Structure 1
Amino acid sequence: MLKRKHSEMNAAERVAQLLKDYRVVIFSKSYCPFCVKVKALFDSLHVEYKALELDLIGEDGVAIQQTLFEKTKQKTVPNVFVNGKHVGGCDATIQAHQDGRLAELLSGVQYDYDLIVIGGGSGGLAASKEAASFGKKVAVCDFVVPSPQGTTWGLGGTCVNVGCIPKKLMHKAAIIGEDLKDARAFGWDVPEQVVHNWTNMVDEIQNYVKSLNFGYRKVLKENTVTYLNAYAQFVDAHTVKVTDKKNNVQHITARDFIIAVGGRPRYPDIPGAKEYGITSDDLFSLKYHPGKCLIVGASYIALECAGFLHAVGIDCTIMVRSILLRGFDQQLAEMIGDHMMGHGMKFIRPCVPTKIEKISDGEPGFGKMDSGEIVEGEYNTILFAVGRSACTHNIGLDNIGVKLNPSNGKIIVDKEERTSVNNIYAIGDVIDGKLELTPVAIQAGKLLAQRLYKNQTVLTDYVNVPTTVFTPLEYGFVGVSEEDAVASYGKDDIEVYHSFYQPLEYALTDRDNNKCYGKLVCVKSKGERVVGFHVLGPNAGEVTQGFALGVKLGAKKSDFADLIGIHPTTAEVGLHKDSG
């Protein structure tokens, strides 16, 4: 059979044949300076290439450029291919040369995927979808190791399954309970005794979570991302061993990796903790009513769980080792604790558990004071919320030399989220020294994919990220605590403005008067620039989100004072100078 000449083929056939016939093909235009620059790069590497000057072949050039656009979504020249793989334009080709991908393409190294993401949480999913949108071949490996109590879940990570989503829905259940108490004051004929059904709440929440799991799998499929429900372990810098739940093993390779495995709750190193205790990994799908409950810890997870458990009628005690909400503004933290105690929640403080024993089914419990005073108690459920550990200990990082912080096991990355291994990156809760927040991981994942595959340069901004603690009295903040402001700028350079306030929603009820609170922390030498915004009250997250933009853009106290508020809202509260 005779081989047709290129000139006798249509545009699509001609492009396909060129990619088959030549190791390097540059679709170019003779007058384009960027094309000249790319050709000079290959000349300097002593690599032969086929350059097709589209402006010199008439209408065929127009047809070929249209075919290239349909194939690569790139409208411009140069359009570079190596060993049949699309590299991109001038900037993308130079970047590929700088990070070593061009050399790999030239050598003929073939990987199963352009990118493998290890971890199917919010950050990993965001990165995978973004990379796939640029035409990259992407896989996501996600496998949930069961908790000591056997709890597992689907795609979506901590936030979706055992974190933000079910937590906020249980917090909403608590708010509804409080609203029912207030309803009579607003004219609703509500029975004096309203009973909460734990099982019904859990079933509804889990049904919603499962719908999210299904939705994430569907989105990955729609974006042509391969989903592997398998545990990934590094063999070398480009290879992972993946093991599914049936112990089927395969090895897959990729040019780049993103580690987004997050963390899991820690257990105290005491007898009986893992045998008889649970964590937030288990609480949100707990099939039975928790009964009398002890929560060990003073983190936001501990206080949030205690808050909604108490609000739905559960006898709840909180065991605290030292301070509440370490790392948060301590004035606000103590106000949260006072509010919770004022509403019937019991605190054992300072205290740590030393032993958990099973008395009978569902009734373990034992604690010991730091001072030596013994405190014993019997509980149906003991929930540990004493911190989280990064899931880095058994994924083969020691095989490839990824550096960890030895004090916490988290991955050390540079400003571009690159690890100590050039083609391996990490995002989210697993990286050292960054915020453990879902929106941060999502943003980091998207921007990382754009830097890797779209020649972008924008880095994740980890400064002035707003957040909210969903305790019974919500606490929203952005910026720094008063303690951190004093440490950074000195006490004499800090001015604090604050105010108690009463939400209008409380006006007809017997809710606490003037327990809600707002505080601005300002730096005097910077024209009273606001470096810390703190609010304690209903809908604190919604309030904080808006003001966060002002803090991020460098707003001053005078800007806050000049802003006309929406009336009547909690967000309009005036923040006056602290005279104390």
Structure 2
Amino acid sequence: MAPISTETDYLVIGGGSGGLASGRMASARFGAKTMVIEGSRLGGTCVNVGCVPKKVTFNAAAIAETIHNAKAYGFSVQETAPFDWTTFKNKRDAYVKRLNGIYERNLNKDGVEYVHGWAKLLSKNEVEVTTDDGTKSVVRAKKILLAMGGNPTPPPSIPGADYGINSDGFFDIEKRPGKVALVGAGYIAVEFAGMFHTLGTETHLFIRHKTFLRSFDPMIQETVTKEYQRIGVNLHQESHVSRVEKDASTGKLTITYKTADGTESVVSDVDHLIWAIGRDPATKDVGLEKAGVELTSKGHVVVDQYQNTNVEGVYALGDITGQVELTPVAIAAGRRLSERLFGGEQFSTARLDYDNIPSVVFAHPEVGSIGLSEPQAIAKYGEENIKVYKTGFTAMYYSMMEPEEKGPTNYKLIVTGPEEKVVGLHIMGLGSGEMLQGFGVAIKMGATKSDFDRCVAIHPTSAEEIVTLK
């Protein structure tokens, strides 16, 4: 391995989406001498154990649903074997590996020095870099970006908790499990539960409250929770796992849990238990205290609206800041930061606007959300100053199916003021992920209800219901 540089203009700690986007722009567009340090695989959480392999798995589940629904449309599809999880996993892994290679080639193309190793701050402008062979070097940098991302939250301290795996471990499962249990109520747990169930695995989901996706609008929470129960996910509401035991001969798990009334029950013969209870910022053992970087009580790096930390010349973005933990957010913040730091006077105020960021949950059905939930809108504007338009219907896709096979579609539009400015849109149903992007542009531009009304509907689609709400 060639010796690494001892000085650089811009040192990026973390080769995930945000760090790569910022580093590449600094180098390729503005000519800053840039170094990216990453100890794992390039692409970070999203590419390796997040958005990308998750969406590929969701696509497989969607195909499984289509095969199941084909009979209603006159097809006779004969499945000769269950879903081949192992073959699928191997192809998914190969796809991710190709992406890792593309990221490395892009860094080289853009003139970014890439070091596979581990970084630790010695001061606000010095970083100790340890490479794979154990060699340590000190790099001086004019500016340092912290973009280390996050890691799955460890399981609670209960007997046998370590028999489970974290959410990253989902992508290591080699063959289709017969029975799984997941703990968590956020989008990761909900997405995994939907995929497992659709691909033929008996699925148990443990949540602490009556609904999941609790950061979303109540309509989303309540309807998607009911839909999971309807399609056959075993939902254990108001419950917490208290003990996990493993059979030494079979490797199967027995999960003991308690419900709100104190009743103790078990789920046995479980192949995998997945703890999907959140993610923590990867801010430990990076030397942040030596540089004097301020952290919150939860370990996130404190930043202002320009991604500045409290230390001059040290910046942070992405999951370690706890702002909006989404890949496109980290990418956009990284690019705006490089514009501001290296782009001159014209970009002196460049920053990411964190308002009205659209997000999607690849649940069953899909969920899309942008802006304020109804409770948030009430709290901000007052109940008397908002109006809610909503609808629920059965998408035309289900018209050929029996009643018990039809999934729900629900839309809610929240507006405020005499001009009825749109401050929230929440949708669930087929195609919501693709649908939200265009509506997100409109809402970011300040659309009003009359703007939606003036848009001629595209018929027949589910999306037309959003521009015809009464």
Pick the TM interval, shorter chain.
over 0.9
Shift in CA distance, 438/273, structure 1 to aligned 2, threshold 3 Å: farther
Contact 1:141 1:232 in 2 (8 A): yes
Q: Which residue of 1 aligns with 2:357?
A: 465
Q: Which residue of 1 aligns with 2:171?
A: 284
- The 5 Å alignment of 1:150-229 reads 154-191=41-78, 195-229=82-116
Q: Which residue of 2 aligns with 1:333?
A: 221
- 1:356 aligned onto 2:270: no
2: CA distance between counterparts of 1:529 and 1:338? 31
1: CA distance between counterparts of 2:283 and 2:329? 19
- 1:499 aligned onto 2:391: yes
Contact 1:111 1:255 in 2 (8 A): no
2: CA distance between counterparts of 1:491 and 1:273? 47
Look up the SS of the partner of 1:201 in the other structure.
helix
Q: Which residue of 2 aligns with 1:238?
A: 125
2: CA distance between counterparts of 1:270 and 1:203? 34
Look up the SS of the partner of 2:104 in the other structure.
helix
What displacement does 1:205 show? 0.8
- The 5 Å alignment of 1:20-35 reads none
Aligned mate of 2:415, from 522, 538, 542: 522
2: CA distance between counterparts of 1:272 and 1:163? 28
Q: Which residue of 2 aligns with 1:65?
A: none
- 1:367 aligned onto 2:257: yes
Aligned mate of 1:399, from 290, 297, 306: 290
CA displacement, residues 84-138 of structure 1 (integer Å, 9 cap, x when unaligned): xxxxxxxxxxxxxxxxxxxxxxxxxx96111110111110100010011111111
What displacement does 1:253 show? 1.6
Shift in CA distance, 282/192, structure 1 to aligned 2, threshold 3 Å: closer
Q: State percent identity of aligned pairs.
A: 37
What displacement does 1:549 show? 1.2
Q: Structure 1 residues 285-294 or 344-353, which shifts more?
A: 285-294
- 1:112 aligned onto 2:3: no
- 1:121 aligned onto 2:16: yes
1: CA distance between counterparts of 2:77 and 2:197? 21
2: CA distance between counterparts of 1:538 and 1:486? 28
Q: Which residue of 1 aligns with 2:426?
A: 534
CA displacement, residues 293-344 of structure 1 (integer Å, 9 cap, x when unaligned): 0000100111000000000000000000124112111221110010111000
2: CA distance between counterparts of 1:316 and 1:480? 32
What displacement does 1:246 show? 3.6
Q: Which residue of 1 aligns with 2:142?
A: 255
1: CA distance between counterparts of 2:312 and 2:266? 53
Contact 1:267 1:273 in 2 (8 A): no
CA displacement, residues 529-578 of structure 1 (integer Å, 9 cap, x when unaligned): 11111111111011110011111111111211121122222211156768
Q: Write 1 or 2 for the structure with the bigger share of strand.
A: 2
Q: Which residue of 1 aligns with 2:212?
A: 324
Q: Which residue of 2 aligns with 1:342?
A: 230
What displacement does 1:370 show? 4.3
- The 5 Å alignment of 1:359-508 reads 359-360=247-248, 361-364=250-253, 365-378=255-268, 379-406=270-297, 408-432=298-322, 434-455=323-344, 456=347, 457-508=349-400
2: CA distance between counterparts of 1:574 and 1:116? 45
Look up the SS of the partner of 1:254 in the other structure.
strand
What displacement does 1:289 show? 2.7
Matching residue's letter, 1:412: V
Contact 2:457 2:467 in 1 (8 A): no
CA displacement, residues 474-504 of structure 1 (integer Å, 9 cap, x when unaligned): 0111111111111111112121111112222
What displacement does 1:192 show? 6.1
Look up the SS of the partner of 2:39 in the other structure.
coil
Look up the SS of the partner of 1:377 in the other structure.
strand
- The 5 Å alignment of 1:93-108 reads none
Q: Which residue of 2 aligns with 1:24?
A: none
Give the number of the structure with larger relative contact order, counting CA–CA contacts within 8 Å between residues 6 or more apart.
2
Aligned length in residues: 457
Task: Identify unmatched segments of 5+ residues in structure 1.
Answer: 1-109, 145-153
Q: Which residue of 1 aligns with 2:38?
A: 142
Matching residue's letter, 1:521: I
2: CA distance between counterparts of 1:359 and 1:324? 31
Q: Which residue of 2 aligns with 1:101?
A: none
1: CA distance between counterparts of 2:108 and 2:130? 21
CA displacement, residues 149-181 of structure 1 (integer Å, 9 cap, x when unaligned): xxxxx2100001111111111111111011001
Shift in CA distance, 575/132, structure 1 to aligned 2, threshold 3 Å: closer
Look up the SS of the partner of 2:90 in the other structure.
helix
Q: Structure 1 residues 508-517 or 564-573, which shifts more?
A: 508-517
1: CA distance between counterparts of 2:110 and 2:221? 43
Contact 2:455 2:467 in 1 (8 A): no
Q: Which residue of 1 aligns with 2:157?
A: 270
Shift in CA distance, 169/510, structure 1 to aligned 2, threshold 3 Å: farther
Shift in CA distance, 438/491, structure 1 to aligned 2, threshold 3 Å: same
Look up the SS of the partner of 1:241 in the other structure.
strand
1: CA distance between counterparts of 2:406 and 2:90? 36
What displacement does 1:513 show? 4.5
Shift in CA distance, 272/235, structure 1 to aligned 2, threshold 3 Å: farther
CA displacement, residues 30-67 of structure 1 (integer Å, 9 cap, x when unaligned): xxxxxxxxxxxxxxxxxxxxxxxxxxxxxxxxxxxxxx
2: CA distance between counterparts of 1:166 and 1:448? 28
TM-score normalised to structure 1 length: 0.76
2: CA distance between counterparts of 1:302 and 1:558? 38
What displacement does 1:399 show? 0.9
2: CA distance between counterparts of 1:573 and 1:205? 36
Contact 2:161 2:244 in 1 (8 A): no
1: CA distance between counterparts of 2:123 and 2:374? 46
Matching residue's letter, 2:235: F
Q: Structure 1 residues 546-555 or 313-322, which shifts more?
A: 546-555
Q: Structure 1 residues 551-560 or 339-348, which shifts more?
A: 551-560
Look up the SS of the partner of 2:246 in the other structure.
coil
Shift in CA distance, 563/545, structure 1 to aligned 2, threshold 3 Å: same
- The 5 Å alignment of 1:59-78 reads none
Shift in CA distance, 389/296, structure 1 to aligned 2, threshold 3 Å: same
Look up the SS of the partner of 2:352 in the other structure.
coil
Shift in CA distance, 369/428, structure 1 to aligned 2, threshold 3 Å: same
TM-score normalised to structure 2 length: 0.93
2: CA distance between counterparts of 1:114 and 1:336? 48
The Cα RMSD (Å) is 1.8
Q: Which residue of 1 aligns with 2:401?
A: 509
What displacement does 1:247 show? 2.8
2: CA distance between counterparts of 1:494 and 1:199? 51
